[in-house]
Amino acid sequence: MLKIAGSVPVEIPDASHAMESFLDEYETSELAVVHQRFYRQLEAREAFLPAPAPEAPPCVKWLLDHPNDWLLKPVALQHVTRVLTAQRWSAPSIVQLICASYCSDCGWGDTWVRLDPCYRAIFYTRLFTGMIATGADKLIDLNCVSHREKGYCTNTECYSNLIQYRDALLGMRRA
């Protein structure tokens, strides 16, 4: 095997032109505008203070009340971000809430020794609010049946309806 590796020429192709085109396209995209707005709002925050608990359906409250290990899962972070965005929470406020959950004493072990809780909150909030704003998130699974099928509904007697949050997000896109 090593003989073959030493005799076969391997050259990394020059993809710099494609990357420059990609970056040029990104800089003029709707997503770039969303990211710029996200970081302007984030920079305008003086400090990350404990965020108030949101008025949210039981499935979101459960995730926030039991963050370890629920809020380490992208699907859970997407759900929290969707619902809070539908309630007109700003992206920095969502970051603040998630970061506060990460910084609470929930038996995280050494998780935050190797990872930064605020950067993680920023990354996922930017990702999911960007997908919502640009329409990349089609929101087709923002309903109680899908949420239950994913295993993220812990309340069998829930009277909330996630469709109202999906409809609110779709309405924000049209506005």
Tell whether 75 is covered by a domain. yes
pLDDT in tens, 110-162: 999 989 999 999 999 999 999 999 999 999 999 998 988 888 887 777 888 99
Decide if 1 is inside a domain.
Answer: no
Q: Is 29 within the bounds of a domain?
A: no
- Asked, for residue 132, whether it belongs to a domain, the answer is yes
Per the structure, the count of domains in the chain is: 1
pLDDT at 7: 75
Q: Which residue has the tokens 């020794």?
A: 113
- Under 8 Å between Cβ of 97 and 51: yes
Question: Within a domain: residue 141?
Answer: yes
pTM: 0.85
**What sign does the CA torsion over 25, 26, 31, 36 have?**
negative
Alpha carbons 43 and 50: distance in angstroms, whole number: 17
Write out the residue range of the structural domain in which residue 64 sits.
Answer: 56-174
Per-residue pLDDT reduced to its tens digit, 63-108: 999 999 999 999 999 999 999 999 999 999 999 999 999 999 999 9
The CA distance from 79 to 86, in Å, is 11
